[in-house]
Amino acid sequence: MKFWKSQPSRFSLYLYLMLSIVCLLVVSFVVLAYGQAKYERALENRMLSIRLAEELRQSSNDLTRLVRAYVTTGNPAFKEQFQAVIDIRDGNRPRPLNYSLAYWDFKAIKAAQQPDATEAQGDAVPLLELMRKAGVTDSELENLKKSKASSDALVHIEHQAMALIEEDSPTNPLKREKALKMLVDDHFLSIKAEVMQPIVLTEGLITQRTQAAVNEAQLRLKMAITSLFVFGALLVVLIVKLRQQLQMIIGCSIPELQKTIANLGSGDFVSPIEVDQGRADSVLGWIAQTQRKLAELDLMHIKAIVDSSDDAIISKTMQGIIASWNHGAEKIFGYTANDMLGKPMQTIIPDDRQHEEPEILARIARGEKVDHFETQRRHRDGHLVDVSVTISPVYDPKGRVIGASKIARDISKAKAAEAEIHRLAFYDTLTGLANRRLLMDRLHLTLAKATRDKTGFAVLFLDLDNFKSLNDTQGHEAGDVLLKEVAKRLNTCVRESDTVARFGGDEFVMILNSKHENTEHAGDWVEAVTQKIITSLALPYQILDISHACTTSVGAAVYTGQPCTASDLLKQADQAMYEAKYAGKNGYRIFKPSLEKSGAAP
């Protein structure tokens, strides 16, 4: 793509700059963390150095206070505390972990003795060594050593004062007074000033030096924070630029691209992909070109499938105008595409089924699908074709129904096979009359209806006379011809609502319906119909170029509302037929209860 050839340098530049800014941000963060730690260490060293200098001054004050308390009270606890202060300061005794400037003030308040044995102890380190480790300079350390030397001189005087009061027991008041004067005279105070002056000077030097370190660390910290903000702002700008450049390459936003790819993945090659002007060479433009090619390929595949299908595949508008007509439709209906395109669908719909098309179009307009609708359509030559139709709505990109797609399958052979199966199941293969199974079904229905409507009907049982002699002399083919002719004559003797059935061999059964009510003379009409049948069947037959005469014996059972079953009626008609046979054939008998009681049999 041309766009990829002309634009990658800018995109790569933004990408590399962004990666560089990220690296700088990481470095700035490290510097910030380091500066913060250094700043905190500078503050800590400053506080520690000042505290240790103040501890030297406080230790001198504590020694003076303790020796005066001892001289005044003679309490040995103060002397022991006095010695503990010296030992801790000189590193001869472990330093308590909670050692502070007010440590011995709390001990005096509690009138405590030496530090508790249970008290947490640290290392035994001289105070000057702690100051050196805290980072004081050599000049600052020299000043502190001078102060320490002056403090040691005071300790010497303080020891002399304590020794003076210990010469007598009990202590001589005059010596106590002299000892107190030793601790407050000008010599003592001048040495005391020599202790304090270097400490104050050193504290000033420490404050000035550590403040500079703190200021430097603070400046670096501010610079690191500023760098973080600057690099962060640059990163945001580069991300925006990179997003814009990426959007130019893609041709749309990331969610739109994901939606477009998802639609393609689902097989939607129809919905148009909108590409902004000037972005035809973007990824979206390439996808749009791919979609068009896939749509063309998909259309070719669909066209190949439609053209090769034996089913009729037809599309039509919502007005029922045919828009497409495949080879399968030509084969099924006999019309070519040129004959049918632009024509109404009613062209192939029989007159008695014209109402179906508006109903189907109404369902399609509601977005419904018509599945396996069995109907008939007219072939070009006029004969009707049984078809199974499936019709689906066709939508535009906005989801509106704009037409219908129809698939019609020719089911004429299946219908014919179904009819043949039905015929074999319920009709005699030789004569086409109802068989015994269908006869019994209709007899049950007729009996139920007559009982409900209080009407009558008759069951006739017919047996051809001397049929066996025709089979023996002329063969079974002649017998079959006779049976077919008998079936035709029987059908002409009754109405369409009656039933004519071949019961088996040369036996036939007829069900004759009557609209008369069940009265005493309700069966009179049966004799007239029976006589008509006998007369018709007695006429000569032309069978295989020979003339043949055949008569029949008929037995009738009339239903006039009496309690009975279908089998009972059939049995009664059979008995009456045998009575007709015994009476000389070519006649009829109507069943009466006396026949059943006499046990008439063949």
DSSP 484-524: HHHHHHHHHHS-TTSEEEEEETTEEEEEEEEEEES-TTTTH
Query: Confidence class of residue 256 from pLDDT cuts 50, 70 and 90?
Result: confident
pLDDT digits (tens, 9 = 90+) for 138-184: 888 888 888 888 888 888 888 998 888 988 888 888 888 888 888 88
**Is the confidence at residue 450, as pLDDT, over 70?**
yes
523 backbone dihedrals φ, ψ, rounded to 5°: -95, 10
CB 72 within 8 A of CB 162: no
Whether the per-residue pLDDT at 246 is higher than 60: the answer is: yes
Instruction: Assign a CATH topology to domain 309-417.
Output: Beta-Lactamase (3.30.450)
Sign of CA dihedral 231, 237, 241, 242: positive
Q: What is the DSSP letter of 94?
A: P
**Cα separation, 167 vs 144, whole angstroms:** 35
Give the three-class secondary structure for 599. Answer: coil
Instruction: Give the lowest-confidence range in 91-100, 182-191, 276-285, 475-484.
Output: 276-285
The stretch 97-124 carries a mean pLDDT of: 68
Catalytic annotation on 574? no
For residue 464, give every residue at least 6 positions away whose Cβ sits within 8 Å of its Cβ, in sequence order, or none. 482, 486, 506, 507, 537, 550, 551, 552
Q: Which of 506, 524, 545, 574 is catalytic?
A: 506
pLDDT in tens, 341-385: 888 988 989 989 888 888 888 989 888 888 888 898 999 998 988
Residue 600's pLDDT is 43
In the sheet that holds 499-504, the strands lie side by side as 499-504, 507-517, 455-464, 552-559, 588-590
pTM for the whole structure: 0.42
- Structural domain boundaries in the chain: 7-225, 251-302, 309-417, 427-598
Cβ partners under 8 Å of residue 203, min gap 6: 50, 53, 54
At 270 the pLDDT is 55
Task: Name the CATH superfamily for 427-598.
Answer: Reverse transcriptase/Diguanylate cyclase domain (3.30.70.270)
Do domains 309-417 and 427-598 share one topology? The answer is no
Which pLDDT tens digit goes with each residue over 270-304? 566 777 766 666 776 677 777 667 656 655 666 67
In the predicted model, is pLDDT for residue 598 greater than 70? no
d(CA 39, CA 212): 11
Query: Widest CA span of the chain, in angstroms?
Result: 188
What integer pLDDT is reported at residue 8 of this predicted model? 56
Pairing of strands 312-317, 370-378: unpaired
Sign of CA dihedral 85, 87, 89, 91: negative
Name which of 32-36, 132-136, 519-523 the model is least confident about. 519-523
